[in-house]
Amino acid sequence: MQHFDTIIIGGGPAGLEAAARLSKFDKHVLIIEKDPALGGKLLLWDKLFPDFASSEELLHQLIENIKNDNVKVSLNTGIKEIENEGGLWNIIDNHNNKYSAKALLLATGFDVFDASRKEEYGYRIYPNVITSVDLEKILSGEVSHAEPKKVVFIQCVGSRDEKVGNHFCSKNCCICAVKQAIEVKEMYPNSEVYCFYMDLRMFGESYEELYRKAQQDYGITFIRGRVSEVSPTYHGQVQIKAEDTLLSRPIRLTADLVVLMVGMEASEGTVEIGKKLQIGGNYDYFKSKNQHLADNLTYLDGIFVAGTSKRQMSIPETMKDAAAAALEINNYLN
Amino acid sequence: MYKHKWNDYQKEIADDKYFYARSCIRQTFFPGSETAFVKMMREEMKKDILDVANQHTCTGIGYHGDIIPFETTSAVVGRLMSLMTEAGYENYVPSCITSFGLIVEITETWHHFPELLEKTREDLYKATKREFNLPKNIAHPSDIIYKFRNELKSKMKYQLVNKETGKPLKGVEHIGCHYAKVFPDRGIGGAEFPVVLSGMIETWGGEVIDYPERRHCCGFGFRNYLVQANRGYSVSNSHKKFESMEPYEPDFIVANCPGCAMFLDKWQYTIAELENKTYDKYGKGIPVLTYEELAGMLLGYNPWELGMQIHQVQCESLLDKIGIEYNTTEKYTGVSGKKIFPPEKPQNLIV
C-alpha cells in the first residue's frame, strides 16, 4: 500500500492543474489516468477557442508544471475499488496495486457525444458527415480531405435535445464552431461555409467579437434553423433539410462536408465512479455539495470534484475550477 | 441514461398464433396482398393465423382525419381486441400500417392512463356486452415477413436479380409514417433507418437505393389527400420523391403502408398525364409493390392471383427482369374465372 496526500483520478487539464497546484503546497500527489497518455480530451483538439492557442503547447506546459518529486503518474490505469477505511480512501487499481490517501480528487472529465446516436444526421453512414473532433484532425493536417466547396456546421448535436435525453447546453460548441468555421475558410478560402444554430451563446471573453469577425471578415453564413435530416445525393454529396426559423421556411442545401458539433456527456469513468460512490447528479455528472459555496466538495468527506466531470466547462473554466479544488484540498489536509 | 442507437434496434415479434386484423383500404387497393400473407403464413411457414370474418374498421383514417374522437376509436379498438380474446389469441397483427400505429398509440395511452382503459372497457361493455384482454404482442405483417425472411428465401423460386445481367435489382423502400415515426421502438431499426423492408430486399438478392428524399412523405398525408383542395400538395410530395430517386434508375418500389403504395403508384399516372413525365426509360413507370406482393412474386405465386394487375404502373417490366413467367391471357380474369375488364389506357403512361 502506497500512501499519498491526494490521489487524483483523471489526467486531463483539471487533474494536471490541480496536481501542479497541490505539489506547490508540498503535497504528495498521485495521478491515475486510464489512457496511455496525459491530456484527456485536450488531445483531441488542435487549436483552442477563442484565441487559436495551440492545445499541444498548453498540454506541454501543464505537464511541465507537474514534473517534480511531489507528483507521480500512473498511466493505463483503471479503478477497480474505492473504499473508505478509518478516514482514508483506499484504491485498488486494475493492476491490483493498492494506494491510500486522505483526499481524492475526481477529475474524470467528459465524453464526446456519440453522433451516430443522431441517426438522422448520418454519422458513420455517409463519409462526408464528420464531427467537430474529426475536423480537428483535418485542420491539423493529421488526416487529409478533398477540398470541399460547401461546408455545413450543425450545432447542438447531442445537446439541448430531448430525443437523446440531453436537455443541457454543452456550452462550448457555439464558439468552437465559429473557430472551426474560420479555420476552414483559412484552409479552403474558396469554400462556402454555413452554420445552423438554435441560438448562439457567445458568453465568453472575445467570443462575440470572433462571431462578428466570422461573418464580416470570413463571409460565414449563420442560419438560425434546425436540421431535420442529412441524406446522400447521387453525386456523392449530402443534402441537408432544415427549417430556417427566422424566415419560417424549409430550406435545403447540398454540401460536400457536414460537421456535427458534438456536445459533452459525463464520461464513462464519471458515471462508473458516480454510481460506486453514490455522488452522481444530473445526467450522471458528479454532484457538488453546493454550486455557490462548496462547488469542489461532495457529500463524502475527503472526496473532491473538479472540471467537466461536474458539468460542461471550457478549458479556462476547468483550470480555474481545478485551482480552486487544490485550495480546498490543501485546506482540508492542513 | 437514454442511449439508444435505433438502427441496432430489434423488436419482439411473436413466433406463432397470430390474430390477423384486416385493413379496410388494403383489400380494395391490393386485393391479393392480405390473402397472400395468410397463405404464406399457413402454407410456407406452417403458422397458426386466424382470419375472422366479423372484423371492422379500426377508425384510423377517420381518427387521423380528425372526424372520429379518441373515445370512439378507443372503444372500437377495444372491440377488435375482444374478437381476438374471444378466439383465444394474444398476438395482434394489424394488416394496415395506420392500424398498427393506432393500436400502438391506443395501447400506449392505456398503459400511461389506466383510467382511460377502464373507461373503454366500461363503454364497450355497456354498448356490446363485450370484454377484452390486451394483446401480448403487436406486430405488423411486414415485421413477421422480415422475421421469417430467411426461411421464406429458402422457399423462393426467384431472386431480386436481373436475369440478363446477373446484377441485383435496385429497390426503393418506403416505410409508412405510422410504422415507427411515432414510436421508434416499435419498428425494426427505429424511425430513421428501419430495416423492415430494406432487410427483405437485401436478403432476397436486391440492392436498396439510398436517395436524398428517402424519408420524405409519400404524398398521402391524410388531409393532404382527403381534402380535395389539398391534393396538389399530395402529388407534389410524390413528385419530389420520384425526381430524387430517378437518377438511381430503380427497378421497383416497395412499401409497407397502403397509402404509400397507393400514392406512389397512382401519382405516377397523374404526373405522366399532367407533364408527360415517367420515371423509367421506357415510359412505363416504376412498379410499386406491397411487401406481400414482393414476397409472393419471388415465391412463384401467380402475379394475377396476387392482384398485381390492379396497380396503375404495370408489373410486367419487373417480372421480365427477374424472369418470372406469367400468362397474359389470365391477367384480367378474376379468381372466379369471370372476365374483369382492363382499365382504360392512359394517354402517356404505357400500360
Q: Is there a contact between B267 and B234 (Cβ–Cβ < 8 Å)? A: yes
CA distance A102 to A109: 22
> Number of CB pairs < 8 Å for A and B?
40
Taking the C-alpha atoms of residue A43 and residue A45, their distance in angstroms, rounded to an integer, is: 6
- Residue B2, pLDDT > 70, answer no
Q: Are B316 and B252 in contact (CB under 8 A)?
A: no
Q: Report the 10 Å Cβ neighbour count for B252.
A: 25
A50 prior amide bond cis, ω within 30: yes
User: Nearest-CA distance from B224 to chain A in Å?
Assistant: 18
Say if residue B160's pLDDT is above 50. Answer: yes
CA B162: distance to chain centroid?
Answer: 24
Contacts of A117 in chain B (CB under 8 A): 3-5
Substitution target from A113, A119, A240 for chain B, most B beta carbons within 10 A: A119
Give me B156's grid cell.
423462393
Q: Is the pLDDT of residue B6 over 90?
A: no
Lowest mean pLDDT among A109-118, B25-34, B330-339: B330-339
CB atoms within 10 A of CB B196: 25
* Number of Cα atoms under 13 Å in the Cβ half of residue B39: 16
Check residue A34 and give its pLDDT: 97
B177-225: per-residue pLDDT in tens? 999 998 999 999 998 999 999 999 999 999 999 999 999 999 888 877 8
**A204, three cell numbers:** 465568453
Q: What is the Cα–Cα distance from B71 to A65, expressed in whole angstroms?
A: 70
List the single residue in B2, B193, B214 with the smallest CB-CB distance to A119.
B193
**What confidence score (pLDDT) does residue A102 get?**
97
Candidate from A114, A117, A233 with C-beta closest to B212: A233
Residue A119: predicted pLDDT: 93
Q: Is there a contact between B190 and A119 if contact means CB atoms under 8 Å apart?
A: yes
ipTM: 0.87
B3 vs A117, A125, A233: nearest CB: A117
pLDDT band at B139 (very low <50, low <70, confident <90, very high): very high
Residues from chain B contacting residue A165 (CB–CB below 8 Å): 1-3
Supply the mean pLDDT for chain B: 94
CA distance B59 to B21: 13
Using an 8 Å CB-CB cutoff, list chain A residues near B212: 231-234, 239
Question: With 60 as the cut, is the pLDDT of residue B148 above it?
Answer: yes
Could you tell me if B338 and B197 are in contact, meaning their C-beta atoms sit under 8 angstroms apart?
no
Which residues of chain B lie closer than 8 angstroms to A120, CB-CB? 192
Q: How far is A226 from A221, CA to CA, in rounded Å?
A: 15
Least confident of A228-242, B54-68, B259-273: B54-68
Could you report the average pLDDT of every consecutive run of 10 residues in chain A (334 residues)? 96 98 98 98 97 97 98 97 95 96 98 95 96 98 95 97 93 97 97 97 95 98 96 96 95 97 97 96 96 96 98 96 98 96
Residue B2: which of A165, A232, A233 has the nearest Cβ? A165
Closest Cβ–Cβ partner in B5, B214, B248 for A231? B214
pLDDT band at B321 (very low <50, low <70, confident <90, very high): very high
End-to-end CA distance of chain B: give it in Å, rounded: 55
* Chain A residue numbers touching B193 (CB-CB < 8 A): 119, 125
CB contact under 8 A, A283 and B1: yes
Pick B7's closest partner by Cβ from A119, A231, A271: A119
Instruction: Name the nearest CA neighbour of A187 among A227, A229, A151.
Output: A151
Give me the pLDDT at residue B340, please: 84
Cβ distance of B215 and A119 shorter than 8 Å:
no
**Residue B84 clears pLDDT 80, i.e. is over it:** yes
N-to-C CA span, chain A:
22
**Chain A interface with B: residues with Cβ < 8 Å:** 114, 116-117, 119-120, 125, 164-165, 229, 231-234, 239, 265, 271, 283-284
Distance of CA A309 to the CA centre of its chain: 10
Average pLDDT rounded to a whole number, residues B297-325: 96
Q: Which three cell numbers stand for residue A291?
A: 454550486
User: Does the pLDDT value for residue B1 go beyond 60?
Assistant: no
Query: Chain B residues within 8 A (CB-CB) of chain A?
Result: 1-7, 190, 192-193, 210-215, 247-248
